[in-house]
A and B are shown apart, each in its own frame.
Chain A
């Protein structure tokens, strides 16, 4: 089965996402990084990883999802490539030995800064696991935009050149791979040039999102809207919509939502599982202490005592309207407005996941306006060219991954 064919299963929502926080170290100190507690000390010991795997595979009945995505994050996960290789070997062996329903229905997933992507150990791992692998390299756009935030710790030097040299190798191995771009206040003026630059590098799918934290300045929404409209013009005038996708533009965006029929929780926290170097389980990595500014870590168990299922109940019963303030419930452009459960928890007035942070509100509304402009312009153009039907058949959409 090819990776592309595999995609169908992973995107159907039937996959369990299990994350190993293998290290809290990273070569970079990105200015927008939500990981406030990165350090060089907390590296996952093999024994903790093994215990986590044994616990998870021992509890097959509690994890009935058809497939599993074994996710590795940091810090920078490839700093721990030896550990990861050992974990993946053990996972494959154990899933096979146990006849686990995830055997041959698994993927190893990485989100990397790309700096040591070319190194021999990393490449050997990729070769070994190629058919069960997805790797995303984070590159923020042009050198100017990328180096604005993604700088080396200590020196503050930009990392663009060290990443971009690995993009051709990465795309040769994963031609359909997309990249994830994060937008903070200072990045807004560079959105258009950055997306176009990524397209020019051969990256056909750009998943781009505003940070959920309350970082926005007055007037950012107008600047953001202007950038997106200029980007829309460039994509449409250049015919780039045929082969490229940008998650900012979506046909499923900007409608009101019903509190009964459209009340699902957007975030997967609680259905996912994360484990750190201490062997603690979290509903998502965003609830580990290194991700939290204000609140204590929300631990749901550990590899020794197992998962406290009572602590998962709020996550698994949480719905959109219960956590939303009235302005979100009544919002006429609510569709597509995302949130991060971890950021909600961190920003809440009390230690709860039931208070939705609305720091992104004006940015979402600006996005909706630009999105409306994009589709109105594109569809008008396609209709004038009698190309609408052909476009609908072959259009490229993003996976719209926002965290």
Chain B
């Protein structure tokens, strides 16, 4: 069931996920398109997430934004307050992260492995940090150890914060501790994106792709062909998987396996490295006497890719 509407206020709106929006020419969403999108969201009881470009948005657009309850997703440095601040690469990290803020850091593997220590100030002040590996589709078996080591170091920072009475969230470590079911991004099922061209897309990545295919509009309503394939029950690998923090990115799925419901090995392996790191963080917190209300036991697995054990299903 549709619950969220992501509205790109500009073609050059910041990417807050795996896809890249770099190099896109600015094209603001026309006010009448925005008006129809907001009306659609209101009539369908949807939560609205506005995604901003780096610069100012037109005054009429800014005024319309305030006509509906919403979340603002902005690139770091964009004017005005943001609910979620997107940082593209370590160089963009603020010297003094805002207390209680939510950040998204888009980074490739190499930078994360090399510069992970620079996340300490963010975890010390922010309420939440979402790490997005922008090259996860190239995650190799050789990256497993480096990623695990990186996550263990970050887990140490988080455990230190817990001991100090703070509880920052890092998506790739904390989410799995508290989830009881798959919590993927929901593109195509619980979430759609309204683009500046006035049409719905499965997510911003599907809009920015060369073969962009719209899936309805505010006037016609959503029309997602083969909509069942975006649901967990139609994902043979994912519905049996308990790496519940995995984004289960349908766009990456499409890129790597040609099917929106089937992840490539790289996404599965990275998610399982995170799951295992979450398990070790849970043990670390338990040993430190820190209780997480609602936290579930995470079982140790002897595989990193559920595909490898499909014969046992």
Contacts and interface: CB of A to CB of B under 8 A. Distances in A.
A378 interface: no
Contacts of A319: 236
Interface string B263-275: 1111000000000
Most buried by B among A317, A319, A322, A350: A317
B234 A354 contact: yes
A72 B260 CA distance: 33
A298 B265 contact: no
Main secondary structure of the interface of B (DSSP, over half): loop
Nearest to B239: A322
A354 B258 contact: no
B258 A349 contact: no
A248 to B, nearest CB: 32
Interface in A271-288: none
Nearest to A318: B236
B310 A309 contact: no
B229 A352 contact: yes
Contacts of B148: none
A363 interface: no
Contacts of B119: none
Contact of B226 (A313, A316, A349): A349
B256 interface: yes
A353 B307 contact: no
Contacts of B102: none
A316 B307 contact: yes
A188 interface: no
Contacts of B225: 349-350
A310 B264 CA distance: 5
B182 to A, nearest CB: 16
Interface string B219-248: 000000110010000101100000000000
B261 interface: yes
Interface in A332-352: 348-352
Contact of B258 (A298, A316, A318): A298
A130 interface: no
B262 A314 contact: yes
A355 B225 CA distance: 11
A311 B263 CA distance: 10
A310 B258 CA distance: 9
Contacts of B265: 309-310, 313
Residues of A in contact with B, size category: 10 to 19
A311 B237 contact: no
A316 B234 contact: no
A330 to B, nearest CB: 15
Given A354-B229, A355-B226, A314 B234 contact: no
A314 B229 CA distance: 12
A352 B258 CA distance: 8
A316 B259 CA distance: 12
Contacts of B259: 314, 352-354
Nearest to A353: B259
Nearest to B261: A354
Contacts of B310: 316-317
Contacts of A316: 307, 310
Interface in A310-330: 310-311, 313-314, 316-319, 322
A61 B153 CA distance: 37
Given A349-B225, A352-B229, A313 B257 contact: yes
A317 B262 contact: yes
Contacts of A309: 265
Given A322-B234, A322-B236, A354-B234, A314 B257 contact: yes
A350 B254 CA distance: 12
A198 to B, nearest CB: 40
Interface string A351-372: 1111100000000000000000
Given A298-B258, A311-B258, A354-B259, A317 B226 contact: no
Interface of B: 225-226, 229, 234, 236-237, 256-266, 307, 310
25 contacts: A298-B258, A310-B264, A313-B237, A313-B257, A313-B264, A313-B265, A313-B307, A314-B257, A314-B258, A316-B307, A317-B236, A317-B262, A322-B234, A348-B226, A350-B225, A350-B226, A350-B229, A351-B258, A352-B226, A353-B259, A354-B226, A354-B229, A354-B234, A354-B259, A355-B229
- Leading 10 A-B pairs by shortest Cβ distance: A310-B264, A317-B236, A314-B259, A349-B225, A314-B262, A310-B256, A350-B226, A310-B257, A350-B225, A313-B257
